[in-house]
């Protein structure tokens, strides 16, 4: 795939595995993702009447009129532990930017990293993932800690499909701020938490969007949020990550998300939530979320993609016929799901008729798309 213009200039960039508390690799998570219900979160994003002042305080009327998302859950969903602290987010948009805000309860607010594009999830952080056209490729990630240090990067493909992550990609015009409700890096008191406010310009995001344009009312983008939370203690008057009694290494961080992934891996964009953009101003009305039924067709094809990955791991190449993948148990309500496949040992494309005269496709690198 030709790299989109939004990463021009990143040739020679440092390529890093990032943002999901996992290393770069090709294996699927151990959990059977097919067993998970296809129920990503959704949110209707209303317009702000004027550009927002990005200060981390969320005091403007447009923010006050906007609904919070569902409270974040463990990244694995119901099988994971209940988060120790509450996290929730809001969204707005205008002609220039996509706005994200988050509120995080935290009795011990701390951060250490100050250099742009540090590996921010080594601190507690808040993370934003945006796939404008929903094809699971060419998506952006933004991480920020309580000092306001930003790491913005983009991935040509998820790590399981070869990545890479381009950390030299910087979002021109990105606005980001935090507000600490307490005292940063002071262990002598108890804090209330911290808030984040981010404004991402459309002129960057639009280049990875369908039609190479900002969203229009009714459009839906794939988005998710993650909060990394390390367990800490006080040593010598300073915050320090809590160590395992046997390993002597920091305990694994908690990872709390808006739309559960089903595995400890943020880089499965097919599990992210849906953000539907409304033309109405925040607080003026309430619009229903309208499900795109072809997303269920994409999920049915994604199940075959998972099976192809397992087949290749066991046999050294992809199945060249659908019968080897056992597709008969995959159904789409309201549709006669009848996939077809073209395949070689190393490449394949699976297609199926969807709703409304659309044909939906998926290929070996996980990219999905529709053709009318």
Given a cut of 80, is residue 184 above it in pLDDT? yes
Number of CB atoms found within 10 A of residue 84's CB = 12
- Return the pLDDT at 237: 83
Mean pLDDT, residues 212-226: 97
For residue 176, whether the previous peptide bond is cis, meaning omega lies within 30 degrees of 0, is no
> In the predicted model, is pLDDT for residue 8 greater than 50?
no
pLDDT by residue (tens digit) across 250-281? 999 999 999 999 999 999 999 999 999 999 99
Compute the average pLDDT of residues 218-243.
Answer: 95
CA distance 317 to 213: 38
Model pLDDT for residues 115-130, shown as the tens digit of each residue = 999 999 999 999 999 9
User: What mean pLDDT is predicted for residues 319-328?
Assistant: 96
| CA-wise closest residue to 290 among 203, 214, 356 | 356
Mean pLDDT of 161-168: 93
Distances (CA, A) of 55 to 52, 172, 195, 230: 9, 18, 10, 25
In this predicted structure, the answer to whether residue 4 has a pLDDT above a threshold of 80 is: no
Share of the chain above pLDDT 90, in %: 87
Is residue 28 within 8 Å of 183, Cβ to Cβ?
A: no
Q: Which of the four pLDDT bands, split at 50, 70 and 90, describes residue 208? A: very high
Rounded CA-CA distance 298/304 in Å is 10
Whole-structure pTM value: 0.92
What pLDDT score was predicted for residue 31? 60
Please check whether residue 178 is in contact with residue 147, taking contact to mean a CB–CB distance below 8 angstroms.
yes
Residue 194 sits at φ, ψ, to 5 deg, of -150, 155
Antiparallel, parallel or unpaired: β 42-47 and 87-93? parallel
pLDDT attached to residue 24? 34
The pLDDT of 85-102, averaged and rounded, is 98
Q: What would the pLDDT profile of 168-181 be if each residue is shown by its tens digit?
A: 899 999 999 999 99
pLDDT digits (tens, 9 = 90+) for 47-89: 999 999 999 999 999 999 999 999 999 999 999 999 999 999 9
Q: What is the pLDDT of residue 17?
A: 38
């Amino acid at each position: 795939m030709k790299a989109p213009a939004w990463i021009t200039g990143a040739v020679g960039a440092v390529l890093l595995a990032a943002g999901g508390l996992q290393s770069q690799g090709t294996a699927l998570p151990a959990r059977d993702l097919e067993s998970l219900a296809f129920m990503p979160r959704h949110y209707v994003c209303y317009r702000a009447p004027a550009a927002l002042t990005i200060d981390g305080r969320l005091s403007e009327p447009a923010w006050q009129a906007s609904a919070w998302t569902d409270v974040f859950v463990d990244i694995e969903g119901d099988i994971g532990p209940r988060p120790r602290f509450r996290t929730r987010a809001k969204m707005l948009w205008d002609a220039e930017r996509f706005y994200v805000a988050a509120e995080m309860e935290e009795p011990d607010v701390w951060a250490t990293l100050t250099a742009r594009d540090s590996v921010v999830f080594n601190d507690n952080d808040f993370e934003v993932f945006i796939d404008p056209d929903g094809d699971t490729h060419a998506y952006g990630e933004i991480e920020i800690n309580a000092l306001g240090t930003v790491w913005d990067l983009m991935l040509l493909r998820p790590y399981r499909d070869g990545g890479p992550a381009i950390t030299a990609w910087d979002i021109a015009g990105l606005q980001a701020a935090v507000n600490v409700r307490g005292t940063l890096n002071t262990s002598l008191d108890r804090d209330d938490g911290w808030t984040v406010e981010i404004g991402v310009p459309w002129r960057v995001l639009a280049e990875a969007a369908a039609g190479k344009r900002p969203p229009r009312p009714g459009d839906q983008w794939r988005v998710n949020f993650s909060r990394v939370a390390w367990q800490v203690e006080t040593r010598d008057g300073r915050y320090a990550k809590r160590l395992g009694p046997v390993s002597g290494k920091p305990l694994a961080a908690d990872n709390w998300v808006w739309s559960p992934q089903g595995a400890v891996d943020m880089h499965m964009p097919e599990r992210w939530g849906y953000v539907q953009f409304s033309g109405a101003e925040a607080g003026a009305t309430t619009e229903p979320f309208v499900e795109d039924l072809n997303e269920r067709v994409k999920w049915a094809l994604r199940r075959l993609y998972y099976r192809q990955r397992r087949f290749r791991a066991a046999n050294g190449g992809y199945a060249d016929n659908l019968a080897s993948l056992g597709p008969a148990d995959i159904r789409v309500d309201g549709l006669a799901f009848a996939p077809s496949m073209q395949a070689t040992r190393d490449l394949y494309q699976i297609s199926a008729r969807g709703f409304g005269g659309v044909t939906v496709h998926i290929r070996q690198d996980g990219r999905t798309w529709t053709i009318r």
